[in-house]
Structure 1
Amino acid sequence: MLPSLDKRLSTAAEMVRQGAVVADIGTDHAYLPCYLTGSGISPYAYACDINSAPLARARKTVERFGLTEKISLCLSNGLEALPEHCAQDIIICGMGGELIADIIHNAAWLKAADVHLILQPMTRPEHLRRFLFTNGFDIIREQGIHIGRHYYTVMLASYTGICLEPDLLLQSIGRLKGNTDEDSAAYIKHYLEVLGRTIQGLEQGKAEENGPELQRLRLLAEQIQALYTI
């Protein structure tokens, strides 16, 4: 028996490489480490959280599924308490984009070509994308997720050493460009709706103050609409 995962976590699990040791940062109930080790995708996992209460919940989950020999529980601020290079696939889901960027920034050993980052920001995905691109990481793949009234994106990234300044389109929708599945299309549609409300708000403000930003966002909306017939 394996723990059931929602669409957000199951998408993250699908991005884990067969045979990779994983570190799940902000593990909470440790559903992902239990699923990955219990299914044989990962031989070993680290379930990490900054607080003791989530780790206590994680311990109960690990014991319930009989995976105590395959999962280490670790009280850690990000990756600080983990040995360097202990895992090949690093999962950071359910945090703000700025916090995820800070966690990556504070773990220099993640700048290795054989390390994959599986990231699911709850907020500020644009900030996270810009951080990745400007710090030598590339987003290999990105998947939009639509659950009820909520919209998420899951990113698969790795270090290339090539730093670039992303344009506004790449920063805004990342590698979702070209995705034709329903969830990614729903994510893009929602993004355009939010962008439209922002543009409308700027149009109602002072033209001399909002003009440059208004022009920038209108161009972004046109670029996204040109990519998607929404």
Structure 2
Amino acid sequence: MKLTNRLLKIASLVNENKRLADIGTDHGYIPVYLLNEGKINFAILADINKGPLENARSEVKRNKLEDKVDLRLGSGIEVLKKGEVDEVIIAGMGGILIGELLEANKEVAHSVEKLILQPMQAQEELRRYLLNNGYEILNECLEKEDFRLYEIIEARYTGKNTTIDDEINYEVSQKLIENKDELLAEFIDNKIKKYNNIIEKLGDKNSEAVIFKRNLANEKIEKLKNLI
């Protein structure tokens, strides 16, 4: 079984010999891969929908891993109990939804050693939720797949809120800058293009609302340029 670049990067962030939960597991590719590689010995595969969970069950059976997994039907980390797993993957969902899933079972979210989160959108909102609700962002990385850049966040609960000096770092993580991620320049350039597109679409109109949006976009562009 060959994982895509995105899934392979997520799998690489799981620590060895940890009990893993993969939330929204779909076909169960990540935990099956890690079990076959001998990197982990146990995984809980969970999904809110029966179809994907049955796909995961078939993948588990095909790889003869039934004795090393537990498949659970349910919403997010509500299927987990405190102490059952060490690390949790929540990937392929929106950032706001991921925050809601963590909020729905704080006992588990606060007790695990690490959360590996890969939001498909609303990444800024997820960072804001994490840092304002007692989580520490341990690390971040980017992965490219099919011309799209994916943001992957490693976090854990410490109980201490983190203050961000500049709002732009909710959009471009300080960790990516510190790590000098090899995809960072492309990532920032994409964001600059996005804001330039916004300015272009606003045209020459000069209503109060348009002026505000244009000024905000220009301010974001300048801050993004200063990050490079």
When normalised by structure 1's length, the TM-score is 0.90
1:88 shift after superposition: 1.2
Rounded Cα–Cα distance in structure 2 between residues aligned with 1:209 and 1:94:
34
Rounded Cα–Cα distance in structure 1 between residues aligned with 2:75 and 2:114:
19
More displaced, 37-46 or 22-31? 37-46
1:202 shift after superposition: 4.1
More displaced, 156-165 or 212-221? 212-221
Rounded Cα–Cα distance in structure 1 between residues aligned with 2:132 and 2:33:
33
Considering only aligned residues, what root-mean-square deviation do their CA atoms show, in Å?
1.8
1:212 shift after superposition: 3.8
Select the residue among 62, 65, 79 that pairs with 1:64: 62
Contact 2:116 2:154 in 1 (8 A): yes
Rounded Cα–Cα distance in structure 2 between residues aligned with 1:168 and 1:199:
20
Q: Which residue matches 2:226?
A: 226
Rounded Cα–Cα distance in structure 1 between residues aligned with 2:162 and 2:200:
31
Instruction: Describe the shift of the 1:187–1:211 C-alpha distance in structure 2 as closer, same or farther (beyond 3 A).
Output: same
Q: Which residue matches 2:31?
A: 33
Q: Which residue matches 2:43?
A: 45
One-letter amino acid of the structure 2 residue matched with residue 5 of structure 1: L
Q: Which residue matches 1:216?
A: 216
Select the residue among 124, 130, 133 that pairs with 2:131: 133
Rounded Cα–Cα distance in structure 2 between residues aligned with 1:96 and 1:23:
18
Aligned to 1:79, what secondary structure does the other structure show?
A: helix
Rounded Cα–Cα distance in structure 1 between residues aligned with 2:162 and 2:214:
25
Aligned ranges 1:45-124 → 2 under 5 Å = 45-109=43-107, 110-112=109-111, 114-124=112-122
Structure 1: stretches of 5+ with no match in the other structure: none
Contact 1:44 1:70 in 2 (8 A): yes
1:196 shift after superposition: 2.0
Aligned to 1:162, what secondary structure does the other structure show?
A: coil
Instruction: Describe the shift of the 1:43–1:105 C-alpha distance in structure 2 as closer, same or farther (beyond 3 A).
Output: same
Report the number of matched residues: 225
Contact 2:177 2:184 in 1 (8 A): no
Select the residue among 21, 24, 47 that pairs with 2:22: 24
One-letter amino acid of the structure 1 residue matched with residue 7 of structure 2: L
1:223 shift after superposition: 2.0
Contact 1:145 1:187 in 2 (8 A): no
1:40 shift after superposition: 1.8
1:207 shift after superposition: 4.5
When normalised by structure 2's length, the TM-score is 0.91
% identical equivalent positions: 33
